[in-house]
Amino acid sequence: MAQVTRMSKLMIKTLRDDPADAEVLSHKLLVRAGYVRRTAAGVWSWLPLGLKVLSNVERIVREEMDAVGAQEVLLPALLPKEPYEATGRWEEYGAELFRLKDRRGADYLLGPTHEEIFTQLVKDQCSSYKDLPVILYQIQTKYRDEARPRAGVLRGREFLMKDSYSFDTADEGLAESYALHRAAYQKIFERLGLDYRICAATAGAMGGSKSEEFLAPAAAGEDTFADCPNCDYAANTEAITYPLKPVDADGVPAVEELDTPDTPTIETLAAHLGVEASETLKNLLVKVDGEIVAIGVPGDREVDMDKVEAHFAPAAVELVTAEDFEGRDDLVRGYVGPQGLEKVTYLADPRIAPGTSWITGANKEGKHAKNVVAGRDFEVDGYVDVVVVQEGDPCPSCGTGLKLDRAIEIGHIFQLGRKYADAFQLDVLGQNGKPVRVTMGSYGIGVSRAVAALAEQSADDKGLCWAAEVAPADVHVVAAGKAAQIELALEVSELLKEKGLRVLVDDRAGVSPGVKFTDAELIGVPKILVAGRRTAEGIVELKDRRTGEREELLVAEAVARLA
Ligand code: ATP
Ligand code: MG
Ligand code: MG
Ligand code: MG
């Protein structure tokens, strides 16, 4: 919307120095340029210019969601415990969930994501196949008690997300809703001017089957993605799995025998490795046939060596200490259970440079049995879901060496399937009069995070540098001088406004041109128009923020050029 914002009246305080606690570029610049202000760890206030950018991102997201027929709603952030208990996420979410009690002692949470509540909503509102498919979305504040809220709005504990949810009666319908989102996201991120890749991803806490992430390459990113230079394969390294290892007839992986006749005990293994038994227990990696098949680093749970041995006996097992892994032990947390690797989560450390890989893994899907022995009590048809992806490892699709890079997760789309519909018995009446279980998708965009991602990707050594559609203004008019310059600057601003442009005008009296230029470059509006030395002749200077190219023009020419 066309408007003139006068800096003489604007609440803005720019800073010359980086805030002491800021580690990433977007954090430094958004604070210095007066876009955001820290209120508590991971909790941010949006100031006038910041809010303009945030609203622009929101508008673009909204327009593209509306364009695929999604309906906007707004659900609460304060939520009752029961729905999240029904799906198990009240517990599963762990320390990341903000839990609270009301005055009567009833449990509540601050919503980290809303699958449960949307499922209940649709159960209440839709009863027939005729009511579906439906896609609902909201742009809403989310709460996650992040372990490392250190990167400014890139990782808030309170942040703005666009979350949408699709409801279909058939799998093909879900695939279609998913494809609609994928296409809408491509449009959104292109309009935002973000460089991004669509990467294969794991479903994580969401559950479900197919999932892809939209990753924006940036040094500050906390994800690592593998890109194939030869084919179109791209994946979050978390999601890369190589084919499972074959097993022999007894369901035991074919491995070289260790030079020990007995079931290896922790002592024999330690002796084999020439390490202290305790040391081995503390940090161990299990290799079968030269391949790492399990990792156990005590996190919330202890590694249970009896189970490891039961699982691998009588196969030979080689334990490798974490030293072989060069410090990556601090990135992994998990335990080895009856099925070998039962659970490993990973902690990505943002300080790790590009090219560093980490470890992830999963147990054999769906098989959760206690104290059983693989191959004896249940069938084993393969093992190794554990992968350590390194730069140059073979692309799972074509075999070419993979390239690794850091990136910011700006969006994530999931085919959830019937997990949530099952939890709430979400059925609609089908065409044949019988109830049909609904299948769902869920889709997120980090709206506030996108602002930081944009800052990361577009900033230069002078400051922020916004793409036109998200910039807080179209033109930054600078009055580089006294009364005459201020007068001309305000005049030009009105002319630009009449042409439908959004103008930020630096009409501050008593502020030197040097300070104004520095601020203009820091704030990052794409076009800068200066009323300076040649004001008396009606000549202004038009400057491109990104290229630095400048040109002297008559006011009318400059206005025509910008309109
Ligand atoms: P991350 O891996 O960065 O923690 P996530 O996978 O937990 O993100 P999702 O549950 O997939 O996040 O949420 C959807 C989107 O919300 C993410 O793709 C991301 O853009 C955004 N998002 C998630 N957590 C945060 C946060 N703490 N601050 C800002 N945006 C976030
Ligand atoms: Mg997360
Ligand atoms: Mg993620
Ligand atoms: Mg995600």
Residue nearest to ligand 1 atom 22, measured at CA:
446
- Structural contact between residues 422 and 436, judged by C-beta atoms closer than 8 angstroms: no
pTM over 0.90: no
Between 481 and 345, the higher pLDDT residue: 481
Pairing of strands 539-544, 502-506: unpaired
- Structural contact between residues 384 and 289, judged by C-beta atoms closer than 8 angstroms: no
pLDDT tens per residue across span 302-318: 334 444 444 433 333 33
pLDDT tens per residue across span 368-394: 222 722 333 323 333 223 335 678 878
Measured from CB, residues less than 6 Å from any atom of ligand 1 are: 113, 144, 146, 155-156, 159, 161, 204, 222, 409-412, 444, 446, 448-449
Q: What is the CA angle 317-322-326, rounded to 5? A: 135
Give the pLDDT score at 206.
Answer: 53
Q: How confident is residue 150, by pLDDT bands cut at 50, 70 and 90? A: confident
Q: How confident is residue 208, by pLDDT bands cut at 50, 70 and 90? A: low
Give the pLDDT score at 267.
Answer: 54
- Structural contact between residues 5 and 504, judged by C-beta atoms closer than 8 angstroms: yes
Residue nearest to ligand 1 atom 16, measured at CA:
446
Which of 449, 454, 456 for a ligand 1 pocket mutation test, highest count of atoms within 8 Å of Cβ?
Answer: 449
| CA-155 nearest atom, ligand 1 | 28
CA dihedral 404, 407, 412, 413 (to 10 degrees): -30
Give the pLDDT score at 98.
Answer: 98
Expressed in angstroms and rounded, the spacing between residue 412 Cα and the centre of ligand 4 is: 5
Structure tokens at 468: 């036109």
| Nearest ligand to the CA atom of 214 | 1
Q: Is the pLDDT of residue 290 over 50?
A: no
Q: Residue ranges of the alpha helices (H) in 33-134?
A: 48-67, 82-86, 89-92, 115-125
Give the pLDDT score at 201.
Answer: 87
Give the pLDDT score at 471.
Answer: 97
pLDDT tens per residue across span 324-367: 333 333 333 333 333 333 333 332 222 222 222 222 222 333 22
pLDDT tens per residue across span 165-188: 999 999 999 999 999 999 999 999
CA distance 147 to 42: 10
| Nearest ligand to the CA atom of 142 | 1
Which of 161, 346, 445 for a ligand 1 pocket mutation test, highest count of atoms within 8 Å of Cβ?
Answer: 161
User: Exposed, middle or buried by CB within 10 Å (0-12, 13-18, 19+), for 390?
Assistant: middle
Give the pLDDT score at 343.
Answer: 34
Structure tokens at 185: 């996201």
Structure tokens at 22: 């800021």
Q: Is the dihedral of CA 29, 24, 452, 353 positive or negative?
A: positive
Q: What is the average per-residue pLDDT within 525-537?
A: 98
pLDDT tens per residue across span 16-54: 999 988 989 999 999 999 999 999 999 999 999 999 999
